[in-house]
Amino acid sequence: MAATSSKGDKRPEPTPGRRLLPHELEALFAANLHHVRAFVRLRIDAVTRSREAASDIVQSACREVLASESFEFRGEAAFRSYLCEAALHKIQARRQYWLTDKRDPERERPGEPADSDLRKVYRTTLFDPMRKAIRDEEIARLEAAFDELPEQYREALTLYRIVGVSLSDLAARLGRTKGATKMLLNRAMARLTSVLKRLE
């Protein structure tokens, strides 16, 4: 079975159900990193975003996966989902850290620019894939719009469109039927489109 890398070429996918060699892990991280970055930028809360770089959270999650003794490769889709789950736990932990009274509420950092790989992920999953480019202000508007969505909409959209979780797996994860999950995704996209238009 072949997998497609972030640059569009085909590469062999490691056999599921075993520990991966270092070079195999490196190739998997490289192929999935941009989707994980997009996931983090859309799921990170405003408090944490103002104080930490999304890329730092991604790197921390990747290091945690690398150091895990229990990790077992079960296919690239599951690997990307595993990475994003680790990143989400990091976001939640960092949010709790910054919300404690001991932290300086005035400490803020500027937003991170979006590179060409991140733009491609956004363009092909949440914008029109036929477009050649998206502007910085469109990315900023998209991320601001995600901040306004209910958590269940953010979770469903990022897992289905960014992570690539199948409709069946998403339904199982959310405890819904496939039909109800499809309706949830449609409502989430409709709300996102509405918010984006308002922010124009």
Span 67-90, mean pLDDT? 85
Predicted confidence (pLDDT) per residue in 168-188, tens digit = 999 999 999 999 999 999 999
39's enclosing H/E stretch is: helix 22-43
Q: Which residue has the higher pLDDT, 144 or 25?
A: 144
Q: From residue 173, give the alpha-carbon distance in Å to each of 26, 137, 160, 181.
A: 28, 33, 11, 10
Poorest-pLDDT segment among 37-51, 79-93, 101-115, 182-196: 101-115
CA distance 119 to 108: 24
User: How far apart are alpha carbons 187 and 191 in whole angstroms?
Assistant: 6
What are the φ/ψ torsions at residue 12 (nearest 5 degrees)?
-70, 140
For 125-139, the pLDDT digits (tens) are 999 888 888 999 999
Average pLDDT score over residue span 116-145 = 91
Rg (CA), the chain: 17
- Per-residue pLDDT reduced to its tens digit, 151-165: 999 999 999 999 999
Supply the pLDDT for residue 51: 86
Mean pLDDT to the nearest integer, 51-80:
84
Alpha-carbon distance of 115 to 79, in angstroms, equals: 23
Closest C-alpha among 198, 152, 157 to residue 38? 157
Report the pLDDT value the prediction gives residue 24, as an integer from 0 to 100. 82
Instruction: List the one residue out of 64, 118, 54 whose CA is nearest residue 86.
Output: 64
